[in-house]
Chain A
Amino acid sequence: MNAAKNNMRGLTVFISDIRNAQSKEGEEKRVTKEMAHIRKEFREAKNVDGYQRRKYVCKLLYIYILGYDIDFGHMEAVTLLSSIKFQEKAIGYLALGVLLHESHELIPLIINSLQEDLQSRLDYFQCLALGAIANIGGKEMAESLAPLVQKLLVANTSPPHIKKRAAQALLRLYRKYPGILSADTWADKVLAILDDTDVGVLTSVCSLLLGVVQEEPAAWAAVVPRVVNTLARVVIGREYAKDYVYYSIPAPWLQVALLKILRNYPPPESSAVSTRLAEVLMVVFNSAESAKAGSVNHKNALNAILFEAIHLVIHYEGSSGPYQGMLKQAAALLGRFISAKETNIRYLGLDSMRHLASLSSETASMVKKYQDTVVISLRDADISIRRRALDLLYSMCDHSSSKTIVGELLTYLVTADYQIREELVLKIAALAEKFASNYAWYVDVILQLISTAGDHVSDQIWHRVIKIVTNHEDIQEYAARTVFAALGSSSCHEATVKVGGYILGEFGHLIAEQPGSGPMDQFRVLHAKFPTAGLTTRAMMLTTYAKIVNLYPELTAPVQDVFRQHQSFIDAEIQQRACEYFHLSSGNETLMQAVLDVIPAWNEKQESGPGAGAGVGVGVGIGGDTPDMKSKGTRGIRSPSLTSASEDLLGLNMGSALNASPNGVSAGYGAGPAYGAGAGGYNGAPAHPPSDGSDPFGLAVNTLTAPLALPAGTSSLGAPGVPSASNPFGLQGAGVNVGTGSIGGGAQPNNAGLLDMLGGGAPQGTSSGSFTGTELALVGGAGGVGAGALTDDEKSLAMYRRM
């Protein structure tokens, strides 16, 4: 240990004691003892001279860094500031720099000291003051001290070490109070500093410029030619002091800073500047060759500059001029990086390549040839690299490579660790949908996804499958067959059961003629999963059974058995469905057929975001809105990257039927006004009881009858029975706005209606809220039955239901 001559022995002893403390308690005791001692010394101020004070403040600083709070001693540090000895002043500023922050109450006290020191003859005092301002400067300081700092920065007589600090101090003050550096007054003067030869000054001024340019790029646009000039001086002209050469690289940090400034602007307009810049970049790219040899530090410094240059070229993508060719060169360099030995380089290479690939389809094709390497990186030992590889594969995927890539990802999913699974699932689903040339493949992928990682497959994903299957007649049979087979296996994930249940319910009839998959077989296969299924799933399955009975009355007996068993089931949703379906299947044939008719294709409403669909959850849809569902509805999207992945999924504009709204839930209701209201009953969300309070859980069968008692000719249901694309039930405006009477307030067409209904406690009307919509409210659900996008009301309804 190298003991400097003026070392404070007391401090050394103290530190040794702390180090030798046997336990945390021992350390705490020693610290408290010392703090008490110091406190006593400070109180009896007369004994404390400069040296002592310095020693004590140092000790306090050490204690503070260890993690103990200091509630005294700040004043002592302030006192040190006014000392005329450099060492004491330095410790004072050091301590304050660590202990204070910009809104600390002691700041006004030190502004005075700062002012004096800024104007001192001794430039080292000036340096200390500038340093303090740079670290803890705030608005107050900006107001009083800015002019002094500015002067120091631009004065010709200021030596480099003053200028460096002045630049930083000014940056800090600018951030607190931008007015102090208006472009008109200061641009020329500050930019002139870029011609300075001292690298330290240049680096510091670059930081200042970066800060300013990011806020007001237009005003400071004159910076571009000057920066290019400086870059050329360093890189081509080799004008720099030897001291700043780091492992044979000249001023690497300065080069990085200069390139960064350029990234805030489009390529330079003037051709002279542009050519100069191109020259510089060529030199930088060519230096990549020498990166193959030398120490790690040499390589890192070189690559730091290279990466910055690559990012600049990526930023210039699409512009004319010499940069197109460089983009290709950059891509080639990145290709080398992702196979480099050093992990850091591979990581950065993958990251930068992703930037490149996600810019446009052209850039994506530039990196195609590296696909295999990236796939290998997917299995790298380092989780950071695996994540980057996944992101990159996602960005570089296009039609031709989609099958391979999705296949690779699926294989990887089997062994993937938990941290990355959810993201992986979302990305696979997004890719599968985006590049699905034939939907059979898409269905397969999703089913496989569910069976491999079902827990991580959010509801939105399998809802999507259902929508797509519903909208495409040609794959309905295939889907039915596939899920039937999947359900046949002994272990199958609950999501498969849900998907299977729904699909068989809707399209099971397409395979009913085939041997082995007749209606009884389907029922048996489904029912085998019934006991182990969760509540929501069982609710869905009851609906499916009802549909089966509708089509195949020969199965009435076993199905009704199931219904009967559940008529007093503890879960309200299941109980209600069981009761209602039982009743429905006991003789009300026409009603049953109408209710359980095939669901029409979804609307192609564009709607952003999940959960936006205030789904006209009219009834016989995908499942009840049980409490389970509600909480599940908000699950799934946690990290920012996941959100973006899912937003892609959701916002995908694949034209036709993919972005549908959950409007057309139960086509059955299109049959006529009467069902509009009746529909409500099927949702039985307990939260929306009939307004007369007679049946708080909507269990009574007579919810069916109530609407039928409406005066005939209630016209509010509008175009009766004519489902149109935007209005599948032929219901008017605010969906199940059953009309005048029972819903308080007129049948306002449109969207307000939804919320009215909810508010008015109107029973059936509230079906629109009763969110079977939760599930349906997936992707692009354009909410309400009314045409057009969701209003705020509907959106808040959706949010309400989601919670």
Chain B
Amino acid sequence: ERRAGIMLRFFLLVNKQGQTRLSQYYEHMPLADRSAFEAQIVRKCLARSEGQCSFLEYLGYKIIYRRYASLFFIVGVDASENELAILEFVHAYVETLDANFENVCELDIMFNLDKAHFILDEMVMNGHLVETAKININEALTLLLAEK
């Protein structure tokens, strides 16, 4: 199985206490390992200050992260990935969430996990970016919410 070329390996939202609010792995990681893994990464991010750059290396992954309020948006990528592009993608994702939740906050994500997940799945498939325009995502979302 060839894995070179997967853009994202995982996408996590973890808060400062180490609780995972959303997780999507684009390559299988056994469940037992995940909590520890996520907590470790968050700890590394917490150890860094605001002025430091948003890129880390951990266990062979390149990690790109950014903190929005109480949540760390953490993306693990290939070594060959374009870091700034991913950083901005995270921002695009947050903006899309914001458009759907009005001043989105951690609570919104917790209580609407299915929506948040759905939005992510519209934008990233199989680890690759497919969609970045908010309007297209909103269209799909209305479908999800519409039928009663």
Contacts and interface: CB of A to CB of B under 8 A. Distances in A.
Contact of A347 (B21, B53, B133): B53
B2 A90 contact: no
A171 B88 contact: no
A62 B113 contact: yes
B25 to A, nearest CB: 9
Nearest to A164: B130
Interface in A186-200: 199-200
A3 to B, nearest CB: 8
B4 interface: yes
A6 B145 contact: yes
A741 B53 CA distance: 69
B121 A94 contact: yes
B83 A4 contact: no
Nearest to A347: B53
Contact of A87 (B21, B49, B147): B147
Nearest to A69: B31
Contacts of B113: 58, 61-62, 65
A764 interface: no
A583 interface: no
Interface string A155-166: 000000100110
Nearest to A383: B52
Interface in A77-97: 85-87, 90-91, 94, 97
B51 A343 contact: yes
B22 to A, nearest CB: 7
Contacts of B145: 4-6
A67 B83 CA distance: 29
Contacts of A131: 121, 125
A347 B57 CA distance: 13
Nearest to A64: B31
A175 B2 contact: yes
A404 interface: no
Interface string B12-56: 000000011111101010011011000000000000110111111
B70 to A, nearest CB: 13
A348 B83 contact: yes
Nearest to A308: B82
| Chain B residues touching A, range | 35 or more
B40 to A, nearest CB: 14
Interface in B87-113: 87-89, 91-92, 101-102, 107-108, 110-113
A244 B132 contact: yes
A19 interface: yes
A171 B3 CA distance: 11
Interface of A is mostly: helix
Contact of A203 (B3, B111, B130): B130
B132 A65 contact: no
A384 B55 contact: yes
B51 A382 contact: yes
Contacts of A171: 126, 128
Contact of B125 (A58, A168, A215): A168
B7 interface: yes
B136 to A, nearest CB: 6
A214 B147 contact: no
Given A86-B147, A207-B7, A304-B85, A58 B2 contact: no
B130 A98 contact: no
Contact of B118 (A90, A168, A214, A241): A90
A358 interface: no
Interface stretch (A295-303, A534-542, A788-796): A295-303
B53 A382 contact: yes
A343 B22 CA distance: 28
Given A134-B125, A164-B131, A382-B52, A246 B83 contact: no
Nearest to B27: A101
B114 A253 contact: no
B61 to A, nearest CB: 14
A215 B5 CA distance: 10
A252 B89 CA distance: 10
Contacts of B57: 384
Interface residues of chain B: helix, strand, loop or mixed (majority): mixed
Contacts of A244: 132-133
A365 B145 CA distance: 60
A54 to B, nearest CB: 9
A2 B101 contact: yes
A91 B130 contact: no
B5 A241 contact: no
Contact of A301 (B21, B83, B88, B121): B88
Given A165-B130, A297-B91, A300-B84, A344 B54 contact: yes
B118 A94 contact: yes
A243 interface: yes
Contact of A243 (B24, B134, B147): B134
A207 B128 contact: yes
A135 B125 contact: yes
A135 B39 CA distance: 24
A171 B28 CA distance: 17
B49 to A, nearest CB: 8
A124 interface: yes
Interface string A237-251: 000010110100001
A168 B84 contact: no
A7 B52 CA distance: 40
A67 B19 CA distance: 9
B110 A94 contact: no
Given A65-B113, A300-B87, A168 B53 contact: no
A303 B54 CA distance: 15
Contacts of A276: none
A102 interface: yes
A2 B84 contact: no
Contacts of A246: 88, 92, 132
B129 A203 contact: yes
Interface in A11-46: 12, 15, 19
Contacts of B143: 86, 124
B104 to A, nearest CB: 9
A64 B128 CA distance: 24
Nearest to B141: A4
Contacts of A199: 132-133
B39 to A, nearest CB: 10
A168 B126 contact: yes
Interface string B115-148: 1011001000110111111111000100111011
Contacts of B35: 67
A301 B76 CA distance: 19
B24 A67 contact: no
Interface string A379-411: 001101100000000000000000000000000
Interface string A591-609: 0000000000000000000
A301 B95 CA distance: 15
A203 B114 contact: no
Nearest to A65: B23
Nearest to B13: A65
Contacts of A257: 129
Contact of A85 (B22, B83, B147): B147
29 contacts: A2-B101, A6-B145, A6-B148, A15-B110, A65-B20, A65-B21, A90-B144, A91-B114, A94-B114, A94-B118, A135-B125, A169-B125, A199-B132, A200-B130, A200-B131, A200-B136, A246-B132, A251-B132, A253-B129, A300-B91, A301-B85, A303-B84, A308-B82, A343-B51, A343-B53, A344-B83, A381-B49, A384-B53, A384-B57
Given A7-B111, A169-B126, 4 more contacts: A87-B144, A131-B121, A164-B131, A171-B126
